Structures are given as C-alpha cells and as structure tokens.
Amino acid sequence: MDAATTLPPTLSQERLDVALAAPGFLPLDEALALHEAAGVFLGQPDSVGIGVEIGTYCGKSTVFLGAIAAAHGALLATVDHHRGSEEHQPGWEYHDTALVDPHTGTLDTSARFRRTMFDAGLEQTVVGVIASSTMGARMWGREVDFVFIDGGHSMAAAQADFDGWSPWVRRGGGLLIHDVFPDPADGGRPPYEIYRQALDSGRFEEVSAHGSLRVLRRVGA
C-alpha cells in the first residue's frame, strides 16, 4: 500500500492485509472506492441491510465489501460457482494451477475464499453462495442495497448478471460495475455494454467513476 493512502475507519489494516494477500485483480484505489460506495448505500435511512456481490473468486473484493457491511451491521451475499471465468481456465492468461482441485481436475476457488473470510474475521457477515449467477438470481427473493457485478466478462455472462440481479436493487440503491472500459483498447466490452444498458434504461443514473469502477444509483421502477 502507498504510504500516502489513509484507510477509512471502517477498514482495519489487518483486513486490508488479508485482502492484499488474496489472489485477485482489483486495484487498491478501486477497492477503496468500492468500499466507500457500498457504505453510502448501506448507510441510507431506507437501507435493508443486505448487499450482493457477483463474482467472488478468492474473496479479495469481498473483504472490502464485507468490512463495510460489518460496520453497518449488514450482511453480504457473494455469488460464484467457483469454477473460474473464461480467463482462468487452462491455457488462458490467468490460470492458476494452485487453485485446481486434484479430485475433479477443475478450478475450485471456494476453499481459498473461505480461508480469506476466516482470516478477515468476516464469517458472520459474508454469506457465500456457491452457484452460477443465473441460478442465484432465480432463487433470490428480496430487495438489496447494492449489487456489485464483477463476474464473467463474456457478453452472455455479463448480460445474465445484469438481467438477473439489477431488478433486485431497491430504489435509491446502487448498481456497481467493475471493468468498465469505454475505450475498447483498454479492455473487454461486455461490462461497458451492461453499464450503457443500465443508463439507457432510465432506471439508473451515474453517481461516480473510479478507474474502471462505475457507481450507479437506481432512480426508476
């Protein structure tokens, strides 16, 4: 961490160290912005005390969201099938052989996620849902204060995340989308495409942008 970075009172150095040690791809400045944005929605008078993360991997971003949820006495559900996205599969850039289950021969990040939550002291705040985003959305049944979308980056995966979970964001709640790159030269397009869909729908307005993180607020039915 940069010496000039000041931690918010809702994030301890111990939890930050756990997050930094966990495998993942969230830059610290965006992680701190995510932590702050989630706190805004959880701290509103009409908060329902629940946030949702789509795309857990090993729990790096989950620590930042879980820490702010704990500070508000809220719960965080984090949804992932834990078999990895396209880029985590054998032969792809982000494949990590240390995360392969020798029994199945497939990626399984669930144990590493649970270790992260244990080390961060967040097992009483974070609810791990081992399921695809589509399956999780089908069984969900209540409004939430925010949804953070950081799952698979194929168009099919991103569209399923948006279609399945954005309707559960309460009015005034947040839709937070990671890896939004307006310039195609900077990254894949699907997160940008669902970001544009959210704005064009008239149901969401942009609140802020931090690197590739976009923070939207639900304003319409």
Q: Is 208 exposed, middle or buried (0-12, 13-18, 19+ CB in 10 A)?
A: middle
CB 214 within 8 A of CB 181: no
Q: How far apart, in whole angstroms, are the C-alpha atoms of residue 211 and residue 32? A: 11
- Token code pair at residue 197: 């869909």
Residues in the chain: 221
Percent of the chain with pLDDT over 70: 91
The domain locations on the chain are: 15-218
Q: Which of the four pLDDT bands, split at 50, 70 and 90, describes residue 3? A: very low
pLDDT tens string 10-24 = 999 999 999 999 999
Residue 83: left (phi > 0), alpha (psi -120 to 50), or beta? alpha
State the average pLDDT over residues 59-73.
98
The answer on pLDDT for 91 being more than 60 is no
Comparing CA positions, the residue from 130, 6, 9, 7 lying closest to residue 59 is 130
Q: 15-218, which class in CATH?
A: alpha beta
pLDDT in the model for residue 190: 96
Backbone Cα Rg of the chain: 16
Distance of CA 183 to the CA centre of its chain: 22
Catalytic residue among 72, 81, 153, 210: 153
Does the annotation count 153 as an active-site position? yes
pLDDT tens string 150-163 = 998 899 999 999 99
DSSP calls for the chain: --TT----TTS-HHHHHHHHHS-----HHHHHHHHHHHHHHHTSTT--SEEEEE--TTSHHHHHHHHHHHHTT-EEEEEE-SS--GGGSTTSTT--GGGB-TTTSSB--HHHHHHHHHHHT-TTTEEEEES-HHHHHHH--S-EEEEEE----SHHHHHHHHHHHGGGEEEEEEEEE-S--SSGGGS-SHHHHHHHHHHHTTSEEEEEEETTEEEEEE---
CB neighbours (10 Å) of residue 200? Answer: 9
pLDDT in the model for residue 103: 64
Q: How far apart, in whole angstroms, are the C-alpha atoms of residue 187 and residue 215? A: 18
